Structure 1
Amino acid sequence: MDGVDERAGRRDAERVRLVPWAESDLWLLRRTNSAKMTAHLGGPETEERLAARHRRYLGLPAGRMYRVASWDGADTFGSIGFWRRTWRDAEVWEAGWAVLPEFQGRGIAVRAAGAVIDAARAEGTLRYLHAFPSVDHPASNAVCRGAGFTLLGEADFEYPKGHWIRSNDWRVDLERGD
Structure 2
Amino acid sequence: MDLKDIQNLIKFVAKSGANEVKLEMEDVKITIKTGAEKTETTIVHQAPTAPVQLAQAPAQDISAVPVQPAAAVNEDDKYLTIKSPIIGTFYRRPSPDKPIFVEVGSTINEGDTVCIIEAMKLFNEIESEISGKIVKILVDDSSPVEFDQPLFLVDPS
Decide: shared fold, TM above 0.5.
no
Q: TM-score, normalised by structure 1?
A: 0.22
Q: TM-score, normalised by structure 2?
A: 0.23
Find the structure with the greater CA-based Rg.
Answer: 2
**Greater helix fraction, Structure 1 or Structure 2:** 1
